[in-house]
Amino acid sequence: MRFSVVASAVVATLVGFGGTLALIVSAAHAVGADTAQTASWVTAICLATAAISAILSVRHRIPIIAAWSTPGAALIASSAVGIGMEAATGAFLLAGALIVATAAFRPLGDAVARIPGSIAAAMLAGVLLRFVVAVFEHAQAQPKLVLPLVALFLLVRLASPSAAALAVLGAGVPLALGLGLMGSIPLDASLSTVVLVHPSFEPSILLGLGVPLYLVTMASQNLPGFAVLRAAGYTPPTRSILAVSGLCSVLSAPFGAHTTNLAAITAAICTGPDTHPDASRRWTVGVAYAVCYVVLAAFGASLVTLFAALPVALIATVAGMALVGALSGALSGALAVERDRLAAVLTFAVTASGASFLGIGSAFWGLVAGLTALGLEAGARRVRAA
């Protein structure tokens, strides 16, 4: 276990956890989770992340790094407002079960893989847009807090894109204290506990949240994660990764946790030669990374208490700035194929609108709109060719 292995694991943990915990808190607030349920959510999802990373890295002897679904958390925060933890938990169970089914039934995996990347990217961009826009909405009310943090983000990003969101969080807390926007920082170091949430299965929420959560997790986390492993020279055990991550998602969902999956950005930190010059020994980073997440799980309640004390404007700024890069990539992917642009823009517009119909959120209808437009255009081309 080289120092570089441990260092890579710690950096990846700080980037993945610190950069996106604000999104988890936002998602928990959206579905009406109380403090204990939010702490349980963080604890359970950290344990699931640790289990996936350790099990798969040791089993396959390659650096398989797990994470929670960041776009999934964004989806929950933006389209699941007020549905309640019980209904949300039912949707989380469905998303995890669908990932397991994708591993078990090849045709289902093939069907997901056939969704055009431009449409999946446009749906993700529509979800993320509202978070980035929210930063500047809060800037109107709290300009002294938000605008300096945006400037800091842009400056730090020039040197280290992965550290920019952490810098915003690190500077935002003392700035908020100095502006009198929050009280003293809570320093409770009590160990975490988990809370069992009894799921309810409401068809409109299963379809409007559970299915889009599954789709964005597959398209925006698992598929890029496979690409990161391939780029590092590994052959990812696709079905094994989907089976283990889906099963861990199912097991953690009753404790309030949403989907866990293969990491992409943080995985890139752990799969290159900086982690270990010998590619055959980099798998040990998965074990070190898992240990880091077990430690975070032990103090999940304290971390949630800390974030609960932060001003809403600060949480929105951290979350929005952390997603700027993801939004840029999603927009680029959505518009990359000229033939798909109209359908992609339609998907983006419907998703970003936040409109719901029959109790089903806009992400699902954006996907339906885009696929319908693509189908009509393909049919028209066949008619003209005939």
Dist. CA 49–CA 43, nearest whole Å: 10
**Burial class of residue 235 (count of CB atoms within 10 Å of its CB; 0-12, 13-18, 19+):** exposed
pLDDT of residue 263: 86
E-state strands within the chain: 66-68, 260-262
At 28 the three-state DSSP class reads helix
pLDDT of residue 110: 67
Give pLDDT < 70 ranges for the chain.
Answer: 1, 15, 19, 108-113, 162, 183-189, 231, 265, 304-305, 307-308, 326, 356, 358-361
Letter string b/e over residues 270-288, b meaning 16 or more CB atoms within 10 A of that residue's CB = bbbeebbeebeebbbbbbb
Please report, for the chain, the start and end positions of each structural domain, with discontinuous segments joined by +: 3-385
At 157 the three-state DSSP class reads helix
pTM for this model (two decimals): 0.72
Which of 87, 369, 55 minimizes the C-alpha distance to 256?
A: 87
> pLDDT tens, 169-201?
788 888 888 888 876 666 666 777 889 999 999
pLDDT of residue 187: 62
User: Could you please report the per-residue DSSP string of 94-118?
Assistant: HHHHHHHHHHH-HHHHHHHHTS-HH
pLDDT of residue 157: 84
149 Cβ contact partners less than 8 Å away, ≥ 6 residues apart:
168, 171, 172, 175, 314, 317, 318, 321
Q: For a pLDDT cut of 90, what percent of the chain falls above it?
A: 34
Letter string b/e over residues 293-308, b meaning 16 or more CB atoms within 10 A of that residue's CB = beebbbbbbbbbbbbe
Number of neighbours of residue 61 by Cβ within 10 angstroms: 15
Q: What is the pLDDT of the chain when averaged over all its residues?
A: 84
pLDDT of residue 48: 96
